Amino acid sequence: MGVGLRTDASAYSRLIAGAETGDHPQNPSMIWLAILTLLFWLGAAWEIMRGNRRLRRLATLDAPPPAHWPRVSLVLAARNEGRTLGAALPTMLALDYPELELIAVNDRSEDDTGAVLEKIAATDPRLRAVHVRELPAGWLGKNHALHIGAQQASGEWILFTDADIHFAPDVLRRAIAHAEAQQLDHLAAVPQLHERGHALGICVSAFSLLFALFMRPWRVPDPASACHGGVGAFNLVRAATYRRLGGHAPIRLRPDDDMKLGKLMKSGGRSEIVLGVGVLSVAWYASVGELIRGLEKNAFAGLDYRVWATVGAVIAHGVVVFWPLAALFAVIGVEWWLNFSAVAVMLLVASDNHRFDGGRAWHALFLPVGVAVLNYIMVRSMVLTFWRGGIVWRGTHYSLRELRANRC
């Protein structure tokens, strides 16, 4: 008995001594996982931190004005937006662009949206209200409304936007001068997202990082790159190219219509994405709950309705986001230091990235919390889509079969 106790004590002492010197036995596969995770975040830091600094800012675009200002048609679709239009539309009408028309499409609203549009249109001849009473088969409501608005547009350029976007007066002049100078067919701008509360800010920070990581907007101008993108708040397209590519018809059943419009436009011309911080803004969602409900229609669509892609994304987040943090409380020695380094780089790149969309950098310190919410949104979106046999958007049900058929 005494010998056993001495042997156990001796073994314990050797284990403690090994831990202190870093010579304790460790699982080689877990060390390799920690190495690969650290390499992933170092690569992400190199790509994102360099890439964000290559993105132009809409607020500082300073291309020389064109010989003549081409006519621009601003087109927006509104459904039950009576509360937001009164604040956003005046900023659109205040744009200091000489050749501007606004086409606001009331998409089957059940509130006073139509009345608000007509009242404002009566005070400014540049604004025209179009009312959609019925939705034809095979179209999402918003996509159909934008398509109808674009058909009535007379501009050489069409700016697709949302009913709650706020513009600085010089935004359009800067955008058109730049697009003409660069011979672009599509210019998208990422707005500053006003965060209502820290919980929502944490989720926005995580969303922003994943957007940058997987979309890599700085690569969009490269014709050799498959990277593409669009932003619902500001999708400026050359009308001739847009119409030649079929308008919104090729993406008529895409809930992620802004992204797919960007893909469509790049397939037939030149595209670029810029940052709109300071001159383009929106209160994206009012709360985390509203964010969860708002993204249920397009989170699964963004993954092309692929189960394996959704499950793979959740697993990947577990490996590169959650495990390194959990490992800090479960391992010691060289494995601990590798995971600590991975967590440090992860939070550094998230914090640096969030500065570029106008958010609070410290929200990125809670990146795992935000990613957990986004994982929940993706899984919830997938489950609800299968449960309902499709999605419900703007009061209309669309079957999963027809949604999947509209590939773009």
Instruction: List, for residues 64-116, the tens digit of each pLDDT value.
Output: 999 999 999 999 999 998 888 888 999 999 999 999 999 999 999 999 999 99
User: Is the separation of the CB atoms in 370 and 203 below 8 Å?
Assistant: yes
User: Is the separation of the CB atoms in 256 and 214 below 8 Å?
Assistant: no
Q: Residue 342 has what pLDDT?
A: 97
Total-model pTM = 0.89
Compute the average pLDDT of residues 327-344.
94
| pLDDT at residue 261 is higher than 50 | yes
Out of 3.30.460.10, 3.90.550.10, 3.20.20.140, 3.40.50.2300, the CATH code matching 55-197+215-284 is 3.90.550.10
Q: Residue 25 has what pLDDT?
A: 59
Quote the percentage of the chain above a pLDDT of 90.
Answer: 77
Phi, psi of 53 (to 5 degrees): -75, -10
User: Is the separation of the CB atoms in 88 and 165 below 8 Å?
Assistant: yes
Question: 28 falls in which pLDDT band (50, 70, 90)?
Answer: confident
| Long-range pairs for 209-212: beta carbons < 8 A, 24 or more residues apart | 209/48, 209/349, 209/350, 209/353, 209/354, 209/364, 209/367, 210/371, 210/374, 212/48, 212/51, 212/52, 212/353
Highest mean pLDDT out of 281-290, 351-360, 394-403: 394-403
- Give the domain ranges of the chain: 55-197+215-284
Which range (106-120, 184-198, 237-251) has the least confidence?
Answer: 184-198
Instruction: List, for residues 210-235, the tens digit of each pLDDT value.
Output: 999 989 999 999 999 999 999 999 99
Q: What interhelical angle do 367-388 and 333-355 show, nearest 10? A: 80
Instruction: List, for residues 104-125, the tens digit of each pLDDT value.
Output: 999 999 999 999 999 999 999 9
